[in-house]
Structure 1
Amino acid sequence: MQIDHTGIAVRDLDEAITFYTTVLQGELVDRYTNTAVGVETEIAVIHVGEDVIELLLPTSPTSPIARFMKARGKGVHHIAYRVDDLEQSIDALKRDGITFLEDTLRTTAKGRRLIYMDPRHSGGIIVELCDYPKIKQ
């Protein structure tokens, strides 16, 4: 398991992109809008050295990012860990008593499969597990 990316909720996507690309000398590698119901987020993917940052701007007041920001404000939303096989990892962790937010299980338009762990296991931090089955690891 390794860190795949860090998701950061922002109020101004262009301002955040400028900070990460200018001050931290990152590279904007992708920008897109996820219009899936229940997700509704504009996303900017920034590479900073070996690390990946996903800047997340809610595009609907009912998106999970909007709800997160209403409760906690802007900032780190989640840390994603890449696993070799998502189903195997979920099954193994469930055997150890870990629960998941089952409604978050999905495959993105970019081919990443993901699910969020119940944050009660991680001190309130949202942990995403993900894999990329169509991309050689």
Structure 2
Amino acid sequence: MEAVLDHIGVAVRSIDEALPFYLNVLNGSLTDRYTSNTAGVEVHVAVMETNGQTIELLEPTNNDSPIARFIRQKGKGVHHVAYQVDDLDQAILEARQNGVRFLEDTLRVNSRGRKLIYINPVSTDGTLIELCEYQK
């Protein structure tokens, strides 16, 4: 599996409060903003680009969303690191052959056409890692 850093997901309580730092201090640009109401996701997303690097600000849409639970347990901050792969199905197969466990219920295609799955943090020494593939 060849993987390239795709983006960092950052959990925030309020995108509107967090945006000025990324726009004004880091000189980033807002490239997309959307809401995912998919069950088990429930998140507002702001996609920021800074010098060719992508950061996704993640704000929970309700108190039961995964981001809300994350903030309650760990506080605001880095939620996940995402790596792009050419073939997600093949990457999953290869990772499983190396004993990697996945959060199976996270496998999906998001509203922007990105196919993704999260690796169970027990396989990564505690870091939530997303593998993603952009549809051709």
Q: Please give the TM-score of this superposition, normalised by the length of structure 2.
A: 0.96
Distance 1:15 1:118 in 2: 30
Q: 2:118 aligns with which of 116, 119, 126?
A: 116
The one-letter code of the counterpart of 1:102 is E
Deviations 1:18-53 (A, max 9, x none): 110100000000011111111110000000101100
Distance 1:63 1:15 in 2: 19
Distance 1:38 1:119 in 2: 17
Question: Mapping of 1:98-137 within 5 angstroms?
Answer: 98-134=100-136
Question: Mapping of 1:1-137 within 5 angstroms?
Answer: 1-134=3-136
Distance 2:91 2:129 in 1: 13
The one-letter code of the counterpart of 1:121 is S
1:60: how far off?
A: 1.2
SS at match of 2:123: helix
Aligned length: 134
Q: Is the 8 A contact 2:101 2:122 kept in 1?
A: no
Q: % of aligned pairs identical?
A: 52
Superposed CA RMSD in Å reads: 0.7
Distance 1:114 1:33 in 2: 17
The one-letter code of the counterpart of 2:14 is D
Q: Is the 8 A contact 2:45 2:59 kept in 1?
A: yes
Q: Is the 8 A contact 2:107 2:116 kept in 1?
A: yes
Deviates more, 1:73-82 or 1:120-129: 120-129
Segments ≥4 residues shifted beyond 3 Å: none
The one-letter code of the counterpart of 1:34 is S
SS at match of 1:65: helix
1:15: how far off?
A: 1.6
SS at match of 1:110: coil
Deviations 1:47-73 (A, max 9, x none): 010110000000011111011111100
1:123: how far off?
A: 1.4
1:97: how far off?
A: 0.7
